[in-house]
Amino acid sequence: MMTIKLILVDDHAVVRSGLRRLLELNKQVEVIAEADSGEQAYQCYGELKPDIVVMDISMPGMGGLESARRIIKRYPTAKIIIFSMHETASFASQAIKSGVKGYVTKTGAAEDLTSAVLEVANGKTFLSAEVAQKIALETLSGQDDPIHQLSGREFEVFRLLAEGKKVEEVAEMLKISQKTVANYYTMIKQKLGVTSPIDMVRFAIRHGLVEG
């Protein structure tokens, strides 16, 4: 039986400890490293080349989506599962679009994460039932969510600005120049049809990306 070597990425040590215990109940799974940031996850991946990465989205610094995007760009065969409290279809769609292989919500059943690890290790994609349902309903209703027009990097910039981060803070977190962030901001406003920072926050709240 093949052992699935795994890296856990979450900025809370207690969460990582609980996840490690949960996942290692399955004898196939071995947690070989833990990381508390997207930056550390990127470095760990390069050094250890695990079979699977389980990563939170909301962490200080680079954050999970941006880190996943960078890992996949550098290592196209990387298998990453996002484990997040965000249940909106937009987050899951952006994650899958960026090459992530699984999206599991923290509010789902405990066994979901283990199932996701086993499925993704076998070359499949895994979505939590509630997220899969939301994506399916969105598709069936024919609602074209304008957020889908955003690239992965634009989505991340949009989310951070909508949370109230300043341009210089976003530049520092994503390790890009302030001018680049400003250019993304212009593109985002055009694509989403928003004209001011207040509009952007309202849009993000309406779509469940930040809390009102």
111-157: pLDDT as tens digits: 899 999 999 999 999 999 888 888 777 666 655 667 778 888 888 88
- Residue 18 parent element (H or E): helix 13-23
Instruction: Give the model's confidence band at 110: pLDDT under 50 very low, under 70 low, under 90 confident, else very high.
Output: confident
Decide the pairing of beta strands 102-105 and 126-127.
parallel
21-42: pLDDT as tens digits: 999 999 999 999 999 999 999 9
For residue 195, pLDDT beyond 90: no
18 Cβ partners below 8 Å, 6+ apart? none
Structure confidence at residue 74 (pLDDT): 95
Instruction: Give the model's confidence band at 211: pLDDT under 50 very low, under 70 low, under 90 confident, else very high.
Output: low
For residue 69, pLDDT beyond 70: yes
Structure confidence at residue 136 (pLDDT): 78
Structure confidence at residue 169 (pLDDT): 92
Structure confidence at residue 143 (pLDDT): 59
In DSSP terms, 9 is beta-bridged to: 35, 55
Question: How far apart, in whole angstroms, are the C-alpha atoms of residue 36 and residue 98?
Answer: 21
Per the CB < 8 A criterion, the answer to whether 167 and 181 are in contact is: yes
Structure confidence at residue 78 (pLDDT): 97
For residue 210, pLDDT beyond 80: no
90-104: pLDDT as tens digits: 888 888 888 999 999
Per the CB < 8 A criterion, the answer to whether 173 and 55 are in contact is: no
Instruction: Express as a percent the part of the chain with pLDDT over 70.
Output: 95
What is the set of domains in the chain, with CATH numbers? 4-140 (3.40.50.2300), 146-206 (1.10.10.10)
Structure confidence at residue 207 (pLDDT): 78
In sequence order, which ranges of 24-146 are alpha helices (DSSP H)?
38-48, 64-74, 89-97, 111-121, 129-141
